[in-house]
Chain A
Amino acid sequence: MKKSGATAGFQAAAGAGVIVALMLPFSRGRLEATLVGHVLVQMPLLVLAGWLLGSALAEKLERVMEQWNRFGVAGFTFAIFVMLFWMVPRSVDTAIAHTGYEIFKFAGLPCAGAALALSFPRTIPLLAGALKAHFVSMLAVLAWLYTAAPVRLCNSYLASDQKMLGAGTALFACAFAIYWALGPLFGLPKPQPTIASGAAAAREAPGGARI
């Protein structure tokens, strides 16, 4: 499972490239013009970019993670709080109006993605499963909230946008649920070795495991 330097380099470049592309005024303006673009395209891409960077750094950070992020507990805590913050409608509104929030978004979400990439391979299947189940159900609740809310939740976006965000979030929830169910149901994707069982195992497969 040892990752080659080339793979790590490619992941790092791809992650950084996505973040830079999203920071360009053109893509920022386009994506933030609609709720779907802002919440379902830009934000997940920032997390994904962070995931790539985190995977690329996994080997280098192995020792630190072993000490400070056993079973991925610290990383998950970080990612959960950052994602909670960006689920608050007011945060989405404020990101458009205030540069400070926008900077926090562009820094925090990639860090959350990196934290997830550094934590999932270290955790136990039970915790990973619980987090995935919780994530899917939370998306479903958000989808319902955005679809059914009788008022506009963001002052900067249209009510029709909010409904579309609800529908899109429901799709996301379904997609994640199906993707994560495929493994246990059909053996796809391949079962992964976990490296949480100890430092010895970790040395054999440093950060190479995927979910």
Chain B
Amino acid sequence: MLRTAAAALAIAGILGAVLWQGTSGLRAFTTEGLRRLSVMEQPRPLPNVRLIDMQGRELTLPDELGRAMVVEFIYTTCPTICVSLGESFAKLQDQIWMDGLADRIRLISISFDLARDGPEALSDYAQARGADGRLWIAVRPENDEALRALLTTFGVTVIPDGAGGFVHNAALHVVDRQGRLIAIFDIGEEPQVLAALRRQQ
């Protein structure tokens, strides 16, 4: 019985450690939970990629350095969750203007639907959602490679929904003035996003 007890203890110890590791110390049971935890503990520098905005102009994320950012991922034909993301951004836009921080913050909607979302679609999207084009802009990555780099850094998984659209882990991503992703919030957590942005000023 002694050997059995020793074997059971050893197994529990080793596999318990594996389980501990696989849940970040029982703190993150989902991929989404892990992403949020890991960003908070270790801010991630954004990749240096080229983006195209709704006027067809090129910009790179480092161009925006010096400004704190909130980033959301969208596709312009999205009927459901992007609408609530858009409302969330509209709220943030209003509040940031009221706070007088509009020239020090950027709200960026990044499309991952490269096949459909050119400058025109982005421009329509921005107009429909009330993006002013100064504080809040809509962009798309220049190419697939840039898109992949962005999605990997942000930890966003996009899967087809089987009806011509996409499903993705939608959230509000806060980027600091050094261009590092520092926090991820749910839609509806605008006060927390604003608090994080104010801490950057």
Contacts and interface: CB of A to CB of B under 8 A. Distances in A.
Given A89-B31, A156-B157, A158-B161, 20 more contacts: A67-B4, A70-B3, A73-B4, A74-B4, A74-B8, A88-B19, A88-B29, A89-B30, A90-B22, A90-B23, A90-B29, A90-B31, A93-B30, A152-B167, A152-B169, A154-B30, A155-B157, A157-B159, A158-B159, A159-B167
A156 B159 contact: yes
B114 interface: no
Interface stretch (B9-17, B69-77, B94-102): B9-17
Contacts of B32: 151-152, 155
B28 interface: yes
Interface of A: 67-71, 73-74, 77-78, 81-82, 84-85, 88-91, 93-94, 151-159
Q: Determine chain A's interface SS by DSSP, over half rule.
A: helix
B8 A85 contact: no
B22 A91 contact: yes
A85 B12 CA distance: 12
Q: Determine chain B's interface SS by DSSP, over half rule.
A: helix
Interface residues of B, number: 27
Interface of B: 1, 3-5, 7-8, 11-12, 15-16, 18-19, 22-23, 28-34, 157, 159, 161-162, 167, 169
A13 B71 CA distance: 54
Contacts of B18: 81, 85
Given A90-B33, A152-B169, A81 B4 contact: no
A75 to B, nearest CB: 9
B198 to A, nearest CB: 28
A81 B12 contact: yes
A132 B31 CA distance: 30
A155 B4 contact: no
A89 B3 contact: no
A93 B29 CA distance: 11
A81 B162 CA distance: 35
A91 B34 CA distance: 11
A90 B34 contact: yes
Contact of B23 (A69, A88, A155): A88
